[in-house]
Amino acid sequence: MSHNKVPPRAGISRRSFLGSTGAVGAVLGAGTQHASAQQSDTGVAPNSQPKIELTINGKRRTLTVEPRTTLVEALRDNLGLTGTKIGCNQGQCGACTILLNGNRVNSCLILALSVNGAKITTVEGLANPDGSLHPMQTAFAEHDAFQCGYCTPGQILSAIACIDEGHAGSADEIREYMSGNLCRCGAYPNIVAAVEAVRDGKEG
């Protein structure tokens, strides 16, 4: 496995997240069958559900959420934005990666309530209004940077942020900074090629 991960500037990748401070690590516990992030599903009174406002893909949305609702479940279940995927629901896989105020984050680790007022970009918000694709979307398609496509929305958002952060200088750096997004189909070399192509302005 790959070790010595430097945490991305703004992102929380799987490995760097687990390897970071004790305070954060404690939420995940030992990660055994019985200790998981889902322990955050603590009880609340249903009639006291707060309202939040988010700007999602440029559109203002107001929604009512149970306090324990994660951002990814708010997007998918409350708003029907199912492009964002859940691969573990415990901060380990990156499938739920979105841009939160421009930074890549695992949306399964964030309570929707805690980001009231935030600007969010999901995979649904990348193409232009005329339907033309974001260069990273085109590059992923061209380079066959996926197979089943399940990790893809998260990979694409992570890849966009990877370049924006200045972490796409070399193939090695891309590999390192894209390692928080797991791909069980093993599309990694093609993902790296897609990121390089966009970095070099060869797509779109």
Partner 1 sequence: MAQTINTAVTRTDAPRKVTGTATYAADFMPAGMLHGALATSSVAVGTLTGMDISKAEAEPGVLAVFTRETLPDYKSVKGFYAGGPGSASFWPMNESQLRSYSAGPGSASFWPMEDARIRYAGQPIAYVVAETAAAARRGAQLIEATYDIAESTIAMDPADSFVIGAGDDSDGMVITKGDVAEGLSVATQIVDSEYVTPFQHHNPMEMFSATAEWRGDRLTVWMPSQSVKTLRSGIAKAYDMSETSVRVISPFVGGAFGSKAGVTPYTMLTIAAAKAMGAPVRLIVTRPQMYTVATFRPESVQRFRIGADAAGKLTAFEHIEISQTSQFDAVVNPGTHITRAMYACPNIHTEQRLSRSDTNSGGFMRAPNEMQTFFGLESAMDELAIKLGMDPVELRRVNDTDRHPVADVPFSSRSLMESYDAVADSFGWANRTPEVGSMTDGDWLVGYGCATATYPTNILASNARVRMHSTGEAYIELAAHDVGTGTYTIMAQIAAARLGLPVEACDVVMGEGDMPVAPLAGGSTTAASAGSAVHDACLKIGRQIAAQVSAMSEGPLSGVDPAAITLENGVLKASGGQSQPLIEALASTATGQIEVIGEFRHKAMTDQMIKTTFQGGYGSAGPVTPEMAMFAFGAEMVEVRVHRWTHEIRVPRLHGAFAAGTILNRKTAHSQLMGGMIWGIGSALHEVTEIDTPRARFLNTNIAEYLIPVNADVREIRVEMLDERDDYVNPLGVKGIGELGIVGTAAAIANAVYHATGKRLRHLPIRTSDMV
Choose the binding region for ligand FES from 59-67, 111-119, 143-151, 193-201 (rule: CB under 6 A). Answer: 143-151
65 binds ligand FES (CB under 6 A): no
Q: Which of residues 162-181 bind partner 1 (CB under 8 A)?
A: 174-176, 178-181
Q: How many CA atoms lie within 13 A of 16 on its CB side?
A: 18
Question: Is 51 or 184 the residue whose CB approaches ligand FES more closely?
Answer: 184
106 binds, among partner 1, ligand FES, none (CB under 5 to 8 A by kind): ligand FES
What is the spatial distance between Cα 142 and Cα 148, in angstroms, rounded to a whole number?
A: 15
Choose the binding region for partner 1 from 99-107, 113-121, 125-133, 196-204 (rule: CB under 8 A). Answer: 125-133
126 binds partner 1 (CB under 8 A): yes
Choose the binding region for partner 1 from 71-79, 99-107, 113-121, 196-204 (rule: CB under 8 A). Answer: 71-79
Fill in the per-residue mask, 7 to 46: x = in contact with partner 1 (CB under 8 A), - = not in contact.
-------xx--x---------x--xxxx-x-xx-xxxxxx
55 CB-contact burial (10 Å; exposed 0-12 / middle 13-18 / buried 19+): middle
121 binds, among partner 1, ligand FES, none (CB under 5 to 8 A by kind): none
Q: List phi, psi (to 5°) of 106.
A: -85, 110
What is the spatial distance between Cα 136 and Cα 168, in angstroms, rounded to a whole number?
A: 13
* Contact indicator for 84, 121 with CB cutoff of 8 Å: no
What is the spatial distance between Cα 113 and Cα 204, in angstroms, rounded to a whole number?
A: 36
136 binds ligand FES (CB under 6 A): no
111 binds, among ligand FES, partner 1, none (CB under 5 to 8 A by kind): none
What is the spatial distance between Cα 139 and Cα 27, in angstroms, rounded to a whole number?
A: 36
| E strand map for the chain | 51-56, 59-64, 97-100, 103-106, 119-121
91 binds ligand FES (CB under 6 A): yes
